[in-house]
Structure 1
Amino acid sequence: MKKYWKYMAFAAVALLGVGSAACSDDEGDTSWSATYAYLVPQHLGILDKAVTLSHTSEGISGDASLVFSVGLNKVSSKDLTFTFDVVTSETLPGSEVELSLPEVTIPAGELVSAPITLSVPDWSFEAENRAKVEYTVAVSVAQTAGVELGRQNLLTLAITKNAYLNLVAEAPENSVEIDRANWVCSKMDGMEGDVNVLKGTAGGDIASNTAPWWVAVDMGATHMLTGARTTHWSSYFAPTSIEVETSEDGTNWTSHGVLPISGGTQNWSLIEPVACRFVRYTALAPNSRTDITSMRLYEAE
């Protein structure tokens, strides 16, 4: 595997070297003789990697890392050592980002460095933050004497920490159904069907060929929400992953996390019931035709 990785990286940087030198803004002959350094991602061609972390009672988990190497457009007659610049978004303290190697050396006669892993291994700093948060970290090769920086000198890792999972795929216990008569329902633009199927005053379904999509319910008054049951034409048309949000005013929303779910009839419960007037239900997957034929909400007895 290591030989395969090294071979692929060699091929990639060789091609990049030719392309970048030929397209250099410097039209002088020195553009062809210069040594260029590049970043070579583990998955060639993917310069921007996105990952999602889950947040449960057991903590925050997920693989927030990317692997890359430094490559040259041509071999050098001497060893070349490179360091890195790392920049993070305001939401991510730079002290939480780690590089497996602070610097790498490409030996004379070689084209590619050893792989480096950039990661955020410890998420305890966000353990108390139940909100959904997005973070970004970017890495580039620092300026090195005698070496030009190629155009492929920036890799980014976009990290999404889902909201704390306050959901479980079970029917709510010790609950009664909330009267649907006064509901005001809404749906995301572009969805097909009458939104009033949610409360049972219209037939058919609400559907979309593309996820994510959402529907929302204004219950008309505040209830201590414990969970819901949704129905779908069949398990084939049902979502396999959902997000549930609640609000007291219809403007400021609190996410209760992303829940894997299955079946033509789906139940979910809030682990910690929530006082709210508005509920927004989002189907996140699959990215194909998915529907909903009714929704019943429940409150504590």
Structure 2
Amino acid sequence: MTNNEVPPTPQRDVIREVDWLAVAPWLLVLRAVGATIGWPLLVGVIGYAVLDWETQPLNLDRLLNPADLVRYNADVWATNATQISDGVAEISWYRRVVWPTFRRLAWMMLGVVIAQHAAQRLSNSPRIGFLTSLRRALRYGPRVLGAIALLAIPAACCAVFLGVCGLLVHAVFSSTLANGMASIGGVVGGLPLAMLLGVVVYGAPLLVASVVVDDADPFDALSRTVAYVFQKPGSLATCVFLGWIGLVVSSIVIHWLLTTSIEMTNAFTDGAPLALHCVLLGFFPAYFYCAGVATYLVMRRQVDGQPLDEIG
């Protein structure tokens, strides 16, 4: 070897890392638990303490079992917000109409804030400030409302049409024939209504995520949601299943924190358990929106082929 020749560089073993998200993008849903820690959890705690503490009072007997804790979380979202404490016989118009409407709108705005921070973390994008997320929520909120209205208005019209048809059938025909015709008409005519309600129930997190992630308008958000729900039902079912696993694991951890902290918090003050339980139970609404964002990112990749780390 002459003096001008460069000595050969020794070959090194190349360590190849497996991109598990490229192999199984559904695993992104499991990261929603970690994405909840931080601003999403704080927003969820504030929302739970202000909006849900009266309508869903804490019951320690229900929270000391992981299975009951999962059912409690389902009750928070499934039951009507007009529930009041025992001993009150009459429900005012404010509690029937005004407060439930305000509560749902407030949770929608908080969900938009949570979805923004979850999208930044799940896509490894630069973080945004809390005030910035609030300003964006004021801009995104009307779009989410518009997308929901596009589904709610046809659903309401379909329900009214079915009710009017049922009244006409019972008024014209005999009771036996009317019951048979109403049963058949209810099955046939109720199918579009069931599909609309299914999109509203199962696609609501995707509506919020589509507006936040892709800066979509109401029509674009609705079209994306319908496509993601019906074009890849297997992928959607997998995401929902993994999200349920994350919920169960989180419930077990929260159950352990509740049981181990009761005696410690009682030693300080009587109000400490209530504050701690609000913090722990505020995790569930925050996780609801974080899992929705993760599901949206996965479904967008499966249907549209967009990368998981690409957001608008």
Give the structure-2-normalised TM-score. Answer: 0.21
Radius of gyration: which is bigger? 1
Considering fraction of residues, name the structure with more helix.
2
Give the structure-1-normalised TM-score. Answer: 0.22
* Higher RCO (CA 8 Å, separation ≥ 6 residues): 2
